[in-house]
Amino acid sequence: MSKAWHLISRPQGLPTMDNFALRELPDGPLEPDQLRVRNLWLSVDPYMRGRMNDAKSYAASFQIDQPMTGGAIGEVTESRMDGFAPGDMILHMGGWRDGGVVGLDMMPNKLPADALAAGLTPQTFLHNMGLTGGTAWIGLLRVAAAKPGDTVFVSAAAGAVGSAVVQIAKAREMTVIGSAGGSEKCTWVKDLGADAVVDYKAAPVLTGLTQALADLGKPGIDVYFDNVGGEHLDAAFATANDFARFAICGMIDVYNDGKAQEMKYLIRTIPARIRMEGFIYTDQFFDCMEEFYADMGGLIASGAVTMRETVHDGIESVPDAFLGLFSGANIGKMLVRL
């Protein structure tokens, strides 16, 4: 009998363990176009917080007393779906559970055998070759149209998306300033190749960013890859060069508290002609999937892009792993291994 984490109440502010319950899933024979799957890796991502609200967003809300969903890597154990056979490794959206029935609505896709044969681990498709790496690549190169020579600022640079942004930008000959909280994360961001690191726990973001730009002899930033909003975003407005582009990927600072953001430098939008654009991976991914797999696969194969994983073990640990995203507990990609 498979078990899945259900949402049993909507969080007010920061989610807690009380919002979730691990319950058994109904069992039974497969219908046509269904698979039975044993999950091996589960993804937890900040965007899931938005789906816990009962509000219109880009993804439908999770429903109360229903199982949560999310990215997962599983092995097919039984198939009534064309093109899938027992033993296949698949990426699908039936996460937050140890296995069960996967239908077409969970978008199962076989992992490319050649990539696995070349040494990519299956869970890479939950980060650098999937949602987080794709978000980094699309946001940096397509939304912000970053190009060699640009000065790029990226927040949450020790996170799954941010650390991919740092490495893709360096591979493309940009100057990169990453921000992260605390010396351990900052050291890792520097090790990834960032030219400068801003420790937002040590000083106001704008102070640190201004100092980093001065140290690098740069007048300002050309690109901002935003994962957090708030003070970081305002510091980006303050230091933007003319015609700077901001790719807005996440505002984790305000996901939970819903408070107003105090923007002192938003007015620089006009004199600096800043373009700020929100984007979502799935809008653009299918347009550029082949280019992304070829380019990102090459960067990973060459060692230009690596990923550190923060791994929790066991189905019981999923909510803990998820809550850790909001307390800065992860370096790199937060995953659950089953």
135, 285 in Cβ contact below 8 A? no
Q: Does 286 bind a second copy (CB under 8 A)?
A: no
Residue 14 or 118: the one with the smaller Cβ distance to a second copy is 14
State which of residues 95, 122, 250, 319 lies at the interface with a second copy (CB under 8 A). Answer: 250
Q: Enumerate the β-bridge partners of residue 79.
A: 35
For the four alpha carbons of 32, 22, 89 and 73, in that order, the dihedral sign comes to positive
Q: Does 262 bind a second copy (CB under 8 A)?
A: yes
Measured in whole angstroms, the distance separating CA 283 from the mean position of its chain's CA atoms is 15
- Residue 23 CB, shortest distance to a second copy, in Å, is 29
# binding residues, a second copy (CB under 8 A) = 35
- Residue 274 CB, shortest distance to a second copy, in Å, is 5
Q: Of 65-73, 88-96, 250-258, 288-296, which segment contacts a second copy by CB under 8 A? A: 250-258
Q: Does 145 bind a second copy (CB under 8 A)?
A: no
164 DSSP assignment:
H
Q: On the CB side of 309, how many CA atoms lie within 13 Å of its CA?
A: 18
E strands, 95-184, where?
99-103, 109-110, 151-154, 175-180
**Tokens, residue 220:** 């300002």
Give dist(CA 192, CA 19) in Å, integer: 36
Per-residue x/- track, 197-236, a second copy (CB under 8 A): --------------------------------x---x---
69, 93 in Cβ contact below 8 A? yes
Q: Of 14-22, 124-132, 273-281, 292-300, which segment contacts a second copy by CB under 8 A? A: 273-281
Which run of H or E residues covers position 335?
A: strand 333-337
Q: Does 249 bind a second copy (CB under 8 A)?
A: yes
Q: Does 273 bind a second copy (CB under 8 A)?
A: yes
By CB under 8 A, what part of segment 76-135 binds a second copy?
none
Give dist(CA 242, CA 93) in Å, integer: 41
Per-residue x/- track, 26-65, a second copy (CB under 8 A): ------------------------x-----xxx-------
Contacts with a second copy by CB under 8 A lie at 50, 56-58, 229, 233, 242, 248-251, 254-255, 259-264, 266-280, 283
